[in-house]
Structure 1
Amino acid sequence: MIEKFKQYIQLNYSNLTYYDRVREFLEEVSLENISEETINKFILNKKETKAIETANLYIKALRVFLKFLKKDIELPNYSKTG
């Protein structure tokens, strides 16, 4: 699945960083357990441990991944930078 996502990114987006961020997410959350709750928990952790810009990149990457999966899950809004 992750390799198909990488191909999707290469064809439709210019930012392969999305692939790396999604791969990191999938190391913590299995495909079967992807939900609004698991995503929010993951993003909250990133907001607490990473720069705001980095946390926003995770949100963008997960939006693209959910589009690829054809899953309709609401994600948190981007955080504003200082």
Structure 2
Amino acid sequence: MTQRPLKAISFLGFNKRGYQETTYVNPVQLGEFKTKFVQEALVEFYQPDTLHVLLTKTAETGISDDEMEAKSRITMATLLKNQNI
């Protein structure tokens, strides 16, 4: 029987303070891996053929929802001012 490729799916959100290094323990074999991201530990422990990491919009842009909303308000105010509305 042919083994199917191992695929892993994970999520990454936004952390204003950044991520801290953590020691992850392999639940299948003896071993540890230190990293800031659990995704790296998953790859180290399970060696998937593919890893898909889904990001929140904030994680993708590095801009929090509050900052995005404030920028949006400033942009709208500037547009209205420039249009003399």
Query: TM-score, normalised on structure 2?
Result: 0.27
Larger Rg: 2
TM-score by length of 1: 0.28
Q: Quick check: which one's strand share is greater?
A: 2
Whose helix proportion is higher, 1 or 2? Answer: 1
